[in-house]
Chains A and B, each alone.
Chain A
């Protein structure tokens, strides 16, 4: 029988019953065995004592082979009820006398057996020597009936059985009553655990029955339930919060998406607007380029023709006005060109490719030399780095910076213009230096503003757009430009362009 799947109640009862039954059985067995052994011992001793007495009295009868005396002595055994048979044998084994006298001799052993005691069936048989002066005269035989003894054993056994039954019944009820104190808390715990696991109800508590280990176990179990309940509550709360957060984030996501869509739409409309404005601007610069230059050309041309034709008829002091008209037209022409250059920076596609600055500088200087006429300029051109950029725009930087250097060093008899590279704040930089008139550094921040000039037009012609254009080109390339100058000593323009390198 596998006890594992039996309910604990029955298990406990079974264990108690089995234990008590085994104990009872063992006790009964020991008790009965003891009884049997002592009884047998007593029987043997008793039989031998009787045999000794009878044997002592039988010496004469045997010595004289006197049957009558023998029978007489044996008949005294009548008083001893347990002796059922007795007989006397002579030395040569012949039966001399027997008791009870009425029984036929065939009921007795025909000859004496071996000296000793022997249990045979329901009787005890004793062969005892009859001796005188250590000389054996014959043998005495006694047979004791053991039936009453066995009767008594049966009674014992019956009593033991009754005790076993009775004690089993008592044990059953006792165990039934006792096992409750063990099984009840366990069953209660099991029921509670079942309720918890089925209903997920962490508020139920197991009843506590005592302060034994099961009580401790119940307390611990209840404690555990309390903790689980708290954690469950916390978990639920967190879950709620998480759901809320999730909802909020979903709402936020939706909002972000809406905002993004809105933003995209706005960007698109702005881009379209910008595109339109850019187109307008292009149309505007086109008309500036074309329509503003055309009348200037006409003014200049007709003024020149007038000048030529009026050479003889107009007095020289009036002719200087014609010169001023032409100068004005040409200045305005330069201004228009410079402004167009400035407005072109950053519009249209910017190309980016490596440009060897020395080549650009050589080209620019060659162009400027043609305008220098008889002026002497000492050029000091050091090896320059290579820079990734837009070739047209990068060239414009050098056109403007070098023509500035040429212009503002005009008063110098020995004008020196120097181009080279240096390290500035850990970055490779290029500089353009002249020994011209320079300027006061307190105006340095105004230098790069459109139309800002530090010199009067009579001193140095110019439109005030060139350096603004240079700065815009450099900024467009994510570079930086700065200037150092001193009045009367010249100016140095420095600039960095990202990605400049020496080959």
Chain B
């Protein structure tokens, strides 16, 4: 079985986690998901350390869905770490947040986020967004070649 992780979902809130997973599952994108419950876990996974030391940089997830408000290391710090390291820089990161703070949007884009999505209140709208996201990043988008992660 090909167990290569396609989506890294970074979400601390159990409700949001459940709803996002549900939406992904409903559109059949839930097979190869890894969930990180805080920023530190996300960084351990992406930088192949701690429990993930067996992983290698050349097989990153196809997309990282990143919440901003996270315990320990917050989402923008995670984004900064990803985009500042040549080995992870090419990993697509989509920020998904409840917040509409311009400050966060500006900083996110300046750090090099690939997409910035505000989670709508209407669950139907949210599901549609998840469907489009999964379709775009997992199906349409050509992932970066392995050489991009050095």
Contact = CB atoms under 8 A, between A and B. Distances in A.
A133 to B, nearest CB: 170
Contact of A300 (B68, B98, B103, B122): B122
A333 B121 contact: yes
Contacts of A294: 13, 15-16, 98
Residue of B19, B99, B102 most packed against chain A (CB within 10 A)? B99
Nearest to B124: A304
A344 B126 CA distance: 25
Nearest to A285: B101
Contact of A297 (B22, B69, B102, B126): B126
A298 B122 contact: no
A47 interface: no
Contacts of A340: 100
A435 to B, nearest CB: 31
Interface of A is mostly: helix
A298 B19 contact: yes
A286 B123 contact: no
A263 interface: no
Q: Which of A285, A293, A301, A348 has the most CB of B within 10 A?
A: A301
Contacts of B98: 289-291, 293-294, 297
B62 to A, nearest CB: 25
B140 to A, nearest CB: 23
B59 to A, nearest CB: 33
B13 A301 contact: no
A297 B100 contact: no
B123 A305 contact: yes
A306 B77 CA distance: 36
A296 interface: yes
B121 A290 contact: no
Contact of B69 (A282, A290, A302, A337): A290
Interface string B5-22: 000000001011001001
Contacts of A62: none
Nearest to B99: A290
Contacts, number: 58
Contacts of A348: 102
A184 interface: no
Contacts of B15: 294, 298, 301-302
A329 interface: yes
Interface in A264-299: 282, 285-286, 289-291, 293-294, 296-298
A289 B101 contact: yes
A305 B119 CA distance: 17
Interface in B66-99: 68-69, 97-99
Given A333-B121, A340-B100, A298 B16 contact: yes
A289 B100 contact: yes
B121 A300 contact: yes
A490 B105 CA distance: 39
Contacts of A291: 98
A293 B68 CA distance: 14
A304 B123 contact: yes
A304 B121 CA distance: 11
A301 B97 contact: no
Nearest to A333: B121
Interface string A296-317: 1110111111000000000000
Contacts of A14: none
A297 B19 CA distance: 10
A49 B97 CA distance: 171
Contacts of B101: 285-286, 289-290
A330 B99 contact: no
B100 A301 contact: no
A296 B100 contact: no
A301 B69 contact: no
Given A289-B101, A333-B121, 18 more contacts: A285-B101, A286-B101, A289-B98, A290-B97, A290-B101, A293-B98, A293-B99, A294-B15, A294-B16, A297-B16, A297-B19, A298-B15, A298-B16, A300-B121, A300-B123, A302-B19, A303-B123, A304-B123
Interface of B: 13, 15-16, 19, 22, 68-69, 97-103, 119-124, 126
19 contacts: A285-B101, A289-B101, A290-B69, A290-B97, A290-B98, A290-B99, A293-B121, A297-B19, A297-B98, A298-B19, A300-B122, A301-B123, A301-B126, A302-B15, A305-B22, A333-B121, A333-B122, A337-B100, A344-B102
Interface of A: 282, 285-286, 289-291, 293-294, 296-298, 300-305, 329-330, 333, 337, 340, 344, 348
Pairs A-B, 9 closest by C-beta atoms: A333-B121, A301-B123, A290-B99, A293-B98, A304-B123, A298-B15, A294-B98, A290-B98, A289-B99
